[in-house]
Structure 1
Amino acid sequence: MKLSQALSGTAVALTFLFGTAAHAATPDEPVKLIKTIPLPDITDGDFDHFAVDLKRNRLYVSVENHHSIDVFNLKTGEHLMSGGPVTTPHSLGINVAKNELFVADGGDHALKVLDGKDLHLIRRIGFDGAPDSASYDPKTRYVYLVASAPDDHPTHSIIHIISTEDLSNKGEIPIDAGSLHSMTIDQTTRRMFVNIRDKSTIGVIDLNRNALVRIWTVPGLTMNTPMAFDAKNHRLFVADKKPGKLFVLNSDTGARVATYDCTEGGDDMTYDARTKRIYVSATQGLTAYQQDDADHYHEIARVDTHGGKTSVLVPSLNQLYIPHTRTAAPEAGLEIYKVAD
């Protein structure tokens, strides 16, 4: 589960204006592009992750080399603002109740708390390493924030635990690795899974002890980056950047259940429990799968996203958002897709 999805989980759903018959996705076209918002001012760099505030009808996107947080109207797609005191923003999250935006700023080695209304800085929490990936635990209301290995300890990363209520430090989880990417939490067992990408393994963390308790080695896994979780069926989904592969694992044992081809360069993945679908966004495009049962899946769509590698699904709106730079398109833009329900 993404930090943005979890933090906005208590928000009230709004009616989406693009949901007309002309734009509706169908079983024959389960993912349909309905609108592209041009972003001509973003001329270089890369997009990273999202935060969604359904209550206030806002979508936040981190734009790394543009050094900004860009804000959109969820209903119309209108580009509302670009700003924020950020250097290289990565993972985002929104505390809807307090209207506070959490930004993992790798360039400034800090977690920044911004006002969701106008993006002014509320609090800066500094770290030795560069923050990147993050996950939110709705049970404790803690953010688990990965700080990459500092220069003087290139194989030592730390997952920092920060309370979103009082912004206090609740602990640290050290991991001997130089590159950690994507985390997801199994609330039933109080375990958190994390991709240890530089070692092509998956770490299992006991959240009751805040300790790494197991490392899974999966045959064929390499450059594992995005991750998603199916709690009901005890399945962990992990995608390789190159070659493009989707791995389905038993989340109780780490055993590989199945492997499927997908687009290369994956950076985001979502499992939608309502529709039993998986969406993997990558530089080579979006790959969507249908879950037949816990052990079997089949590909239902492959879509050119013009290099867009990050995405966020808003299930209550049946909308998927994917930004792209101008590398594979005349100009940067935010693509809005309708997904079949």
Structure 2
Amino acid sequence: MKNTIQLMVASTVLLLSGSASHAFAQSNWGVTKTFHIGGDGGWDYLTVDRSTHRLFVPRSTHTMVIDADSGKVLGDIPGQKTAHGVAIAPKVGRGFITDGGGSGAIVVFDLKTYAVLGTIPTMPDSDGIIYDGALDRVLAVSGDGGVLMTFKPDIDPKNGKIDPPIMLGGAPEFLASDGAGKVYINLEDKDTVAVVDLNSRKVTARWPVAPGGHPVGMSMDTKSRRLFIGCRNPQKLIVMSADDGKVEASLPIGAGVDATKVMAEKSFASCRDGSLVVAAEKAGKFEVEQVVKTPEGARTMGVDETSQLIYLPTAELEPATTGRPKPKPGTFMIVVVGQR
């Protein structure tokens, strides 16, 4: 299995570098260090608090807080069934964890002490979550429920209720907000992006992601008003206008993408096969600049714009027999990528 994975990664790098070999000299990203964390559980969306250099990492039944500079574990928030993502609202000193297990919930915790303040009932398979500071709203999606959920960050953590959910007409995975009332949500089963107007609380458009398919990762450059969408089938990084849904570029990426991010005028797509794609716009055209080799399983990431570092959670993996390879116990790590 190990040799097969190495061949897959090598093939991905060769495929992508064929169209961008001239640009590699201009982009020199690579793994700079690895924090060996350990502990039980899988992992999902990693969230960076750039103001305090902390990483919030859901680990299935608990969420770890890690110092981004040293890799030291600062805290561990218990009590989740299936933790997926974390949003932080520094203004009110709170964090929010989506728990997709059971009937669905969002765990509210204190950003300083990591104490659990309460749990808000949501919907099954509560998954992607972000905080929009401009709107002062926490935004989360439910895959099984097919809805966008919203609430103010100062919600009563014990007795508060979310706003009436917004039906999306598909199974959402992740989302982005423009800070001005528009929310963009990947509908993985429909191969589309749903556009929600928060003022009317309705879906106003559905934009196809073709030639990509099964969109999962999403990020937005609010300056250029572009969405960067990671698709799994076909495997593409789609660059889309946030104004009219026009697909401006379609770039090849590796297998098993789970996240995209925008930083330093570049876009990144992290893939399970052990490839981190770096793309940029050159003379009005998007192209792949570089493919960084990362450990297998490093499919999600968080970025710190202040230090221009990328953090990818993963673990050593057992040989796969059926389905996804399982992580070896105690081998969880954070891989740090930066410019070298």
Query: Could you state the TM-score of these two structures normalised by the residue count of structure 1?
Result: 0.81
2:304 corresponding residue in structure 1? 314
User: Aligned runs of 1:318-337 on 2, under 5 Å?
Assistant: 318-327=308-317, 331-337=331-337
Contact 1:242 1:265 in 2 (8 A): no
Whole-angstrom distance in 1 between the partners of 2:46 and 2:72:
16
How far apart are residue 55 of structure 1 and its match?
Answer: 4.1
- Tell me whether 1:277 sits opposite 2:252 in the alignment: no
1:339 corresponding residue in structure 2? 339
Equivalent residue for 1:99, pick from 87, 93, 97: 93
Cα deviations by residue, 1:236-288 (Å, 9 ceiling, x for unpaired): 2111123321111222221222211011111111111xx21111111012111
1:146 corresponding residue in structure 2? 141
1:172 corresponding residue in structure 2? 165
Higher share in helix: 2
Question: What is the percent sequence identity of the aligned residues?
Answer: 21
Equivalent residue for 1:88, pick from 77, 82, 86: 82
Whole-angstrom distance in 1 between the partners of 2:204 and 2:214:
22
1:17 corresponding residue in structure 2? none
2:222 corresponding residue in structure 1? 231
In structure 2, the CA distance between the partners of 1:213 and 1:301, relative to structure 1 (3 Å rule), is same
Contact 1:243 1:264 in 2 (8 A): no
Contact 1:95 1:164 in 2 (8 A): yes
Whole-angstrom distance in 1 between the partners of 2:246 and 2:48:
33
Whole-angstrom distance in 2 between the partners of 1:279 and 1:254:
20
> Secondary structure, in 3 states, of the residue corresponding to 1:199?
coil
Whole-angstrom distance in 2 between the partners of 1:93 and 1:130:
16
1:76 corresponding residue in structure 2? 70
Equivalent residue for 1:248, pick from 239, 242, 245: 239
Contact 1:141 1:165 in 2 (8 A): no
How far apart are residue 326 of structure 1 and its match?
Answer: 2.2
1:37 corresponding residue in structure 2? 35
Equivalent residue for 2:126, pick from 131, 152, 160: 131
RMSD: 2.2
Contact 2:37 2:71 in 1 (8 A): no
In structure 2, the CA distance between the partners of 1:110 and 1:219, relative to structure 1 (3 Å rule), is same
Cα deviations by residue, 1:189-215 (Å, 9 ceiling, x for unpaired): x32111111111111111221110111
2:16 corresponding residue in structure 1? none
> Secondary structure, in 3 states, of the residue corresponding to 1:129?
coil
In structure 2, the CA distance between the partners of 1:52 and 1:218, relative to structure 1 (3 Å rule), is closer
How far apart are residue 28 of structure 1 and its match?
Answer: 6.0
In structure 2, the CA distance between the partners of 1:129 and 1:103, relative to structure 1 (3 Å rule), is same
Which amino acid letter does the alignment assign opposite residue 152 of structure 2?
A: S
Whole-angstrom distance in 1 between the partners of 2:210 and 2:233:
15
Whole-angstrom distance in 1 between the partners of 2:95 and 2:222:
27
Whole-angstrom distance in 2 between the partners of 1:144 and 1:293:
35
1:47 corresponding residue in structure 2? 43
In structure 2, the CA distance between the partners of 1:165 and 1:58, relative to structure 1 (3 Å rule), is same
Contact 1:32 1:337 in 2 (8 A): yes
2:12 corresponding residue in structure 1? none
Instruction: Give 5+ residue unaligned stretches, structure 2.
Output: 1-23, 319-326
How far apart are residue 293 of structure 1 and its match?
Answer: 4.5
Which amino acid letter does the alignment assign opposite residue 129 of structure 2?
A: A
Which amino acid letter does the alignment assign opposite residue 124 of structure 2?
A: G
In structure 2, the CA distance between the partners of 1:58 and 1:110, relative to structure 1 (3 Å rule), is same
Whole-angstrom distance in 2 between the partners of 1:295 and 1:248:
11
Q: How many aligned positions are there?
A: 301
Query: Could you state the TM-score of these two structures normalised by the residue count of structure 2?
Result: 0.81
How far apart are residue 99 of structure 1 and its match?
Answer: 2.8
> Secondary structure, in 3 states, of the residue corresponding to 1:97?
helix
Whole-angstrom distance in 2 between the partners of 1:61 and 1:84:
12
Which amino acid letter does the alignment assign opposite residue 303 of structure 1?
A: K
> Secondary structure, in 3 states, of the residue corresponding to 1:301?
strand
In structure 2, the CA distance between the partners of 1:324 and 1:213, relative to structure 1 (3 Å rule), is same
In structure 2, the CA distance between the partners of 1:234 and 1:85, relative to structure 1 (3 Å rule), is same
Contact 1:267 1:281 in 2 (8 A): yes
In structure 2, the CA distance between the partners of 1:193 and 1:293, relative to structure 1 (3 Å rule), is farther
Which amino acid letter does the alignment assign opposite residue 247 of structure 2?
A: R
